[in-house]
Amino acid sequence: MLLDKLKNYNVVLASNSPRRKELLADLGIDFVVRVKKDIDESYPHSLPAMEIAEHISRKKAIAYKQDMAPGEIVITADTVVILGNEVLGKPANDADAGRMLGMLSGKTHKVVTGVTITTAGDMRSFSVVTNVEFATLSDEDIAYYVQRYRPLDKAGAYGIQEWIGCMGVRHIDGSFYNVMGLPLHRLYTELDKLIAD
């Protein structure tokens, strides 16, 4: 069983996201959180939108690799929301959050989370895609959510586990946890493969 095998490793979640901490804990994995500041999360403008999250997760992993101790497994991740060809990151302010939610209203978008798992001798990356369909949101719904939940730390300006997800998400195709920020089934599977190899 993976949880038994992981007792021989120190698992590090390289993220300050409260949702990622909660999700990794839900897998039953013992881990510590380690956060570095000022990691460059830029990406080439020529990079296809679907590859951005994985690219950034690898950049984060490279920043941590130089300080890794033997026996550590470091998990880095990044999530982006894609509507058409436009990437929606974290909103700059309340008005930007409202603008993004207005764009998502009544439409289907993609949520892509890129994950990189790093050991002293290996680095593996993957992406998971979930399609999310929003019902039409009124201006009042959007204003209420932005003012009450302050989603400025979330890609696409929403958390699917919050009020707006409960009342506004009509359909999802793919992993719910991926939309929250960590595709748990795929992560569990990839960790198991990593240790087996």
Q: Which sequence positions are flagged as catalytic? A: 78
β-pairing verdict for 10-13 and 32-33: parallel
**Cα Rg for the chain, rounded, in angstroms?**
17
DSSP per-residue string spanning 52-100: HHHHHHHHHHHHHHTTPPTTEEEEEEEEEEEETTEEE-S-SSHHHHHHH
- Measure the CA–CA gap between 53 and 32, rounded to whole angstroms: 23
> What residue has token string 């300080």?
67
